[in-house]
Amino acid sequence: MKQVHLICIGCPLGCPLTAELEDREVRSVTGNTCKNGEKYARKELTHPTRIVTSTVRVSGGELAMVSVKTASDIPKDQIFDCIHALKDVEVPAPISMGQVILPNVAGTGVDIVATKAVRRSRAGS
Amino acid sequence: MQNYDLVIIGGGPAGLAAAVAARNAGIENLLILERDRELGGILNQCIHNGFGLHTFREELTGPEYAGRFIEQVQTLGIPYKLNTMVLDLAADKTITAMSREDGLFRLQPKAVILAMGCRERPRGALNIPGYRPAGIYTAGTAQRLVNMEGFLPGRKVVILGSGDIGLIMARRMTLEGAQVQVVAELMPYSGGLKRNIVQCLDDFGIPLKLSHTVVDIQGRERVEGITLARVENGKPVPGTEEHYDCDTLLLSCGLIPENELSRAAGVAISPVTNGPTVNESLETSIPGVFAAGNVLHVHDLVDYVSEEAAAAGRHAAALIRTGQQVSGRTLPIRCRDGVRYTVPTSIRPEALDPDGTVTLRFRVDGVYRDKRIVVLAGSQPIFSRKRPVLAPGEMETVQLKSRLILDCPDVGELTVKLEDA
């Protein structure tokens, strides 16, 4: 039996977790203060995922950039694929919060959505 | 001069939550003053996720979290002025402000809520030797440049200080193609949240060097490199110097509540938090002037800012409705044995809701294990809770039943301290 120590990233409490592994299978998780902690440890040790946040350029908007995120978590080893896919994306204003900016980013099956609304820039300003 | 019941200075997370709570408590003649071009404050540049788990039970990004409150402000029809700079707050609560639209104007509110937030400790306050080349930014400035303006301030980066913004920017700069070489922290522990060390540094193999600081900056026009050294007893240890080639140095070395207006008004400021001293109603030394959020003390989570600001909004509303100050005893709160400060700094038992609770927030002065948070009324323990780990980077909260204080009518003070568990 192998012991692995992790810090839960589920919330800012950052609980110190201890997982017991046997043949790459998670046998038990301790140290968590909620059920998300156990879920996190099991996921982190088998197929770790992250929500990715970034920004993309806006054309004709009141703001130069709009903040975006993956609508749900994606595999950790695809973070950079996701960021590269966003490199040359430019979105025309207006943009509404939750609007899909890029569907199925880097083949993950997860959409990139806007996390902020951007209005069209007023003419002359 | 225009009369208002309540004016809130600042339209960030604290100001928004205070306004919504005051409006819901029946105050209609109120106004938010915001100096930026939009509401939301610093949340607009905090594009990462992790906000709102306490408040909304889901993980939001900064702009989404701000959006929830902005929506409430708009639904409730709470008026606000953008691009408006408050120039002065007088002891009689007269506010002098200025904007392109309105020019210079004065407001006379019955109550004021200070919600100006905080700013970053700049290089000038850190005593780092070396020239003053381009390429040295506070982490928050770099965050604004990358996330809002769309510029990458550098390609080879060293970060001094392990505050949360520094950790978040280590990840953000890495994702945007910069090479973040190291995060150096003067203290033997990180000032940021543990989860940020995991997902911002460990995920990307960025080393964190505790007990290290920058002892030299090279380059005259632009940063060309920096020298780190190990620190013992507050002094760099000779022979431990390491050189890093870099074009950018980010500073994440603490936040300072922004209290120029408060000071000018004569509000008493705590030398520990650099924020106003407040009573249980979050009211400062000037009656009718309340404070909440990072202007009061630097928080770790925005959820707690919203919670605290909502309380300030309710207390301000109560004062406006009754028009009466509470009289009676004031119990100062003393801090001992690891507790650096508390907010509030005093409690007036007569102002407490007998069936309610009063929230004490505080930070500790070092990393502690297996302790107990103990609250004494006089010398009588009235509250105790076990804490396996306490760290300066994380704010502690104690919810105290008002009854516990009201049941001790003869005590002259309260004490918050740590004890061995």
Q: CB within 8 A of B238, min separation 6: which ones?
A: B229
Domain annotation for chain A: domains and CATH numbers? 2-47 (2.20.25), 53-114 (3.10.530.10)
Using one digit for the tens of pLDDT, what is the confidence trace for B165-203? 999 999 999 999 999 999 999 999 888 888 899 999 999
Nearest to B150 among A51, A65, A116 (CB): A65
Strands ordered across the beta sheet of B368-377: B346-347, B331-336, B414-420, B368-377, B380-390
Nearest to B49 among A69, A80, A97 (CB): A69
Q: Using a CB–CB cutoff of 8 Å, tell me whether B385 touches chain A.
A: no
Label residue A115 by pLDDT band (50, 70, 90).
very high
pLDDT over threshold 50, residue A125: no
Cα B235 to Cα B257: distance, rounded to the nearest angstrom: 27
End-to-end Cα, chain A, rounded Å:
66
Cα A43 to Cα A25: distance, rounded to the nearest angstrom: 11
Residue of A nearest to B48 (CA): A53
Measured in residues, chain B has a length of 421
Find, among B318, B309, B245, B238, the residue nearest to B278 by Cα: B309
Residue B225 bridge partners (DSSP): B218, B245
Cα B314 to Cα B308: distance, rounded to the nearest angstrom: 10
Q: Which two tokens stand for residue A16?
A: 């110190």
Q: Which two tokens stand for residue B37?
A: 């071009």
Q: Which two tokens stand for residue B407?
A: 């049941």
What's the pLDDT score for residue B125? 77
Local structure of residue A118 (DSSP, 8 states): B
SS (H, E, C) B352-392: CCCCCEEEEEEEECCCEEEEEEEEEECCEEEEEEEEEEECC
Average pLDDT over all residues of chain A: 90
pLDDT over threshold 60, residue A124: no
Give B91 to chain A, closest Cα distance, Å. Answer: 38
- The amino acid at residue B273 is T
Give A83 to chain B, closest Cα distance, Å. Answer: 7
* B348: helix, strand or coil: coil
Cα B164 to Cα B170: distance, rounded to the nearest angstrom: 10
User: Is A14 in Cβ contact with B195 (below 8 Å)?
Assistant: yes
What's the pLDDT score for residue A123? 60
**What number of other Cβ atoms are within 10 A of residue B86's Cβ?**
21
What's the pLDDT score for residue B76? 97
Cα B346 to Cα B341: distance, rounded to the nearest angstrom: 11
How many helices (H) does chain B have, and how many strands (E)? Answer: 8, 28
Give A108 to chain B, closest Cα distance, Å. Answer: 18
Q: CB within 8 A of A94, min separation 6: which ones?
A: A61, A117, A118, A119, A120
Contact B262, B284 (CB under 8 A): yes
Question: Could you write out the DSSP letters of every residue in B97-166?
Answer: EEETTTEEEEEEEEEEEE---EEEPPGGGTT--S---B-EEEHHHHHHIIIII-----SEEEEE---HHH
Cα B313 to Cα B378: distance, rounded to the nearest angstrom: 30
Q: Which two tokens stand for residue B20?
A: 């919504």
End-to-end Cα, chain B, rounded Å:
57
User: Is A69 in Cβ contact with B61 (below 8 Å)?
Assistant: yes
Show residues of chain A in contact with B74, CB under 8 Å: none
Residue with tokens 């009573």: B279
Show residues of chain B in contact with A79, CB under 8 Å: 175, 203
Contact B282, B305 (CB under 8 A): no
* A45: helix, strand or coil: helix
Contact A29, A18 (CB under 8 A): yes
CA within 13 Å, CB half, B18: 36
Show residues of chain A in contact with B148, CB under 8 Å: 55, 63-65
**What number of other Cβ atoms are within 10 A of residue B148's Cβ?**
17
Residue of B nearest to A67 (CA): B47
Q: Using a CB–CB cutoff of 8 Å, tell me whether B302 touches chain A.
A: no
The secondary element (H helix, E strand) that includes residue B226 is strand B225-232
Instruction: Encode burial over B230-245: b for 16+ CB neighbours within 10 A, e otherwise.
Output: bbeeeebeeeeeeebe
Sign of the torsion formed by the C-alpha atoms of B272, B274, B279 and B285:
positive
pLDDT in tens, chain B (421 residues): 889 999 999 999 999 999 999 999 999 999 999 999 999 999 999 999 989 988 888 889 999 999 999 999 999 999 999 999 999 999 999 999 999 999 999 999 999 999 999 999 988 778 788 788 999 999 999 999 999 999 999 999 999 999 899 999 999 999 999 999 999 999 998 888 888 999 999 999 999 999 999 999 999 999 999 999 999 998 999 999 999 999 999 999 889 999 999 999 999 999 999 999 999 999 999 999 999 999 999 998 899 999 999 999 999 999 999 888 787 889 999 999 999 999 999 999 989 989 999 999 999 998 898 999 999 999 999 999 999 888 888 899 999 999 999 888 888 899 999 999 8
User: Is A116 in Cβ contact with B63 (below 8 Å)?
Assistant: yes
Show residues of chain B in contact with A35, CB under 8 Å: none
Q: Using a CB–CB cutoff of 8 Å, tell me whether B147 touches chain A.
A: yes
